[in-house]
Amino acid sequence: MIKLKDLLNPSILNEGVYDPGILKCIFLAGGPGSGKSRVAGDLFGIGRGLSQVTHSGLKSVNSDPAFESQLKKSGINPKDLGRIEKENPELWDAITEKPGSPRDKGKKITDAMKAFYEEGRLGMIIDGTGDDIGKIKTKKQHAESLGYDCYMVFVNTSLEVAQFRNKKRDRTLADDRVTEIWKACQHNLGAFQTMFGGNFRIIDNTLDGDNLTPEIKKAVDGFIRERLYNPIGKQWVTTAIALKNANLIKK
């Protein structure tokens, strides 16, 4: 127990061990223009910015704000990304692929925040596109190995609406890239349903407005509040509480 104490961050442990969102990980997936940010606000009560906390205490893990911040620091308007990808492939690679690029820096900032949350097993919302099934599977397995119960909310829309909304976003992508990602997401839907089983919901966000049904809100809120099922997570909580009770971690 004393060895485990050295691996725990006391401030995070004090915040999280009795949190109803402790050890709950929700994957928020959907392509560009799907309206995930709007859904995240309506469903979880989070907005934009590097530090995002939901009304239920879950922490948002989203590399987009950090990436956009790094773009602006480099003098690049995020709305120009679609044009740059199409007209200047060399600059596009410098922005998105090379070590030290705005995307690389943004990812490192986000990864550091995620590691900080994981240290205290705080509840998280992992925000991504869903076009790469392998990445989602790896992240889910990693979360489960730490003791998290996992869930997915997939935000869907028609391709036409995705293209229209993409042009209005702060950070735009080329039309071909939007189509490519949209098709990959649609192809992965069945795999996601298999991967997450009953812990999977689709939100049809084609129409503007509040597209959250009472059933979806109830299901997601229920997942956050229900007891843990992951045995690794149960043991972590038991040990953390024992450390507190033994005064090895400040209460």
**DSSP H helical ranges for 170-212:** 175-196
Q: Residues 211-231: what's their mean pLDDT?
A: 90
State the pTM of this model: 0.85
Give the pairing type, strands 124-127 and 24-29.
Answer: parallel
**In degrees to the nearest 10, what's the CA dihedral of 109, 47, 209, 123?**
70
* 42-46, 87-91, 118-122, 226-230: least confidently modelled range: 42-46
- What percent of the chain has a predicted confidence (pLDDT) above 70? 87
What pLDDT, on the 0 to 100 scale, is given for residue 249? 56
pLDDT(17) > 80:
no
pLDDT(48) > 80:
no
| 196-216: pLDDT as tens digits | 999 999 999 988 777 778 899
What pLDDT, on the 0 to 100 scale, is given for residue 51? 46
What pLDDT, on the 0 to 100 scale, is given for residue 170? 79
What pLDDT, on the 0 to 100 scale, is given for residue 8? 45
Listed residue (220, 193, 218) closest to 24, CA to CA: 220
All domains of the chain in start order, with CATH: 2-22+29-207+215-223+233-245 (3.40.50.300)
Q: Residues 45-66: what's their mean pLDDT?
A: 71
| 152-192: pLDDT as tens digits | 999 999 999 999 999 888 788 889 999 999 999 999 999 99
What pLDDT, on the 0 to 100 scale, is given for residue 90? 92
Q: Residues 79-93: what's their mean pLDDT?
A: 89
Please give the residue that has the higher pLDDT: either 177 or 38.
177
